[in-house]
């Protein structure tokens, strides 16, 4: 991606090297603004859990921990205490610049799209953190992966995730990295359009299977919005050869079936909550090829 020298967003909050405070784990529940997904693996008391996470499945399978619980933080000790507060490396500073440019380009796109319907685009903040962070959805750990918190309208990312994306999940390339950000911004769009609040309202009446299916439609729409952004980046002449393929490969590598097979050797479709590799490739591509928000309606058609 041709990002160097371009304008960076002013909505980047750099909390790298800061220690997340302990004992705040329950705050997300109190504020109650998060997206909660009931899942088959949680026990009764933890039924109300928060998450809209691009790599939910990855972390879950890889660590055996439920990232929803990490975010909800109920009854948790503070994982941050005693952890390092090392300063970010030089390589990370370049990544931070990259994030700033990508976010600026998402602001440009969505400001245009909202203006077209006579609305202002409320820009989200992107928080860079190291190891763990206090979010409006509770205390989160880097292992959770990048996520969007509707309660404070912020995207959270530990930049070391990009190493993991490349090495563990086989998704190298700067445009794979951009795709992850554009996907999270897609969740912000869904928060504004009412898709996330609607899910939050209906969640309590859904079975775990229904909630997973609902979550898949939400995630695929966010992938489609990421594709729309990639289309926009193309119009701005920011794409290098192979960039689109990097994003499509990333979408493929973090599909639920591919992730589960890699981690445990088999896939359990009823637990899918982000979509299969084929679905994620398909919906990113729809957005990328059309550049049309209307092409991203994952709710009124088969996905």
Smallest distance from Zn ion to CB 143, Å: 16
Smallest distance from Zn ion to CB 226, Å: 9
210-239 mask for Zn ion (x: CB under 5 A)?
---------x--x-----------------
Smallest distance from Zn ion to CB 229, Å: 14
Smallest distance from Zn ion to CB 49, Å: 15
Q: Which residue is nearest to Zn ion (CB)?
A: 54
Handedness of CA 173, 174, 176, 180 (dihedral sign): positive
Residue with smaller CB distance to Zn ion, 80 or 176: 176
Q: Which stretch binds Zn ion (CB under 5 A): 17-25, 46-54, 192-200, 202-210?
A: 46-54
Residue with smaller CB distance to Zn ion, 70 or 222: 222
Smallest distance from Zn ion to CB 83, Å: 26
- Total residues contacting Zn ion by CB under 5 A comes to 3
Distance CA 155, CA 127 (A): 6
Smallest distance from Zn ion to CB 183, Å: 6
Residue with smaller CB distance to Zn ion, 221 or 249: 221
Residue with smaller CB distance to Zn ion, 174 or 219: 219
Residue with smaller CB distance to Zn ion, 80 or 275: 275
The angle subtended at Cα 261 by Cα 259 and Cα 267, nearest 5°, is 100
Instruction: Kindly tell me which residue out of 54, 159, 211, 247 binds Zn ion, with binding defined by CB under 5 A.
Output: 54
HEC per residue, the chain: CCCCCCCCCCCEEEECCCCCCCCCCCHHHHHCCCCECCCCCCCHHHCCCECCECCHHHHHHHHCCCHHHHHHCCCCCCCCCCCCCCCCCHHHHHHHHHHHHHHHHHHHHHHHHHHHCCCCCCCCEEEEECCEEEECCEEEEHHHCCEEECCCCEEEECCCHHHHHHHCCCCCCHHHHHHHHHHHHHHHHHHHHCHHHHHHHHHHHCCHHHHHHHHHHHHHHHHHHHHHHHHHHHHCCCCCCCHHHHHHHHHHHCCHHHHHHHHHCCCCHHHCCCCCHHHHHHHHHHHHHHCCHHHHCCCCCCC
Q: Which stretch binds Zn ion (CB under 5 A): 53-61, 96-104, 259-267, 278-286?
A: 53-61
Residue with smaller CB distance to Zn ion, 80 or 192: 192
Q: Is 180 near Zn ion (CB under 5 A)? A: no
Smallest distance from Zn ion to CB 198, Å: 16
Residue with smaller CB distance to Zn ion, 80 or 199: 199
Residue with smaller CB distance to Zn ion, 68 or 222: 222
Smallest distance from Zn ion to CB 90, Å: 30
Interacting residues with Zn ion (CB under 5 A): 54, 219, 222
């Amino acid at each position: 991606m041709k990002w160097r020298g371009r304008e960076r967003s002013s909505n980047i909050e750099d909390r790298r090297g800061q220690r997340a405070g302990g004992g705040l784990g329950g705050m997300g529940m109190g504020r109650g603004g998060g997206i909660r997904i009931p899942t088959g693996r949680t026990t009764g008391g933890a039924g109300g859990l928060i998450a809209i996470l691009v790599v939910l499945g990855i972390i879950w399978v890889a660590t055996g921990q439920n990232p929803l619980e990490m975010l909800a933080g109920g009854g948790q000790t503070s994982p941050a205490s005693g952890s390092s507060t090392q300063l970010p490396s030089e390589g990370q500073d370049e990544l931070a610049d990259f994030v700033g440019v990508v976010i600026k380009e998402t602001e440009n796109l969505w400001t245009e799209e909202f203006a077209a319907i006579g609305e202002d685009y409320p820009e989200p903040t992107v928080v860079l953190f190291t190891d763990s962070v206090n979010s409006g959805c509770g205390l989160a750990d880097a292992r959770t992966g990048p996520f969007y918190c509707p309660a404070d309208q912020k995207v959270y990312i530990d930049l070391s995730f990009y190493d993991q994306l490349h090495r563990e999940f086989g998704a190298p390339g700067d445009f794979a990295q951009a795709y992850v950000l554009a996907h999270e911004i897609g969740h912000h769009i869904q928060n504004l359009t009412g898709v996330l609040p609607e899910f939050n309202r209906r969640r309590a009446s859904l079975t775990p299977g229904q909630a997973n299916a609902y979550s898949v439609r939400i995630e695929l729409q966010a992938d489609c919005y990421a594709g729309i952004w990639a289309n926009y980046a193309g119009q701005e002449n920011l794409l290098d050869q192979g960039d689109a393929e990097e994003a499509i490969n990333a979408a493929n590598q973090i599909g639920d079936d591919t992730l589960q097979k890699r981690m445990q050797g088999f896939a359990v479709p009823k637990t899918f909550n982000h979509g299969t590799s084929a679905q994620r490739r398909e919906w990113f591509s729809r957005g990328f090829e059309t550049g049309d928000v209307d092409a991203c309606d994952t709710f009124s058609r088969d996905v």
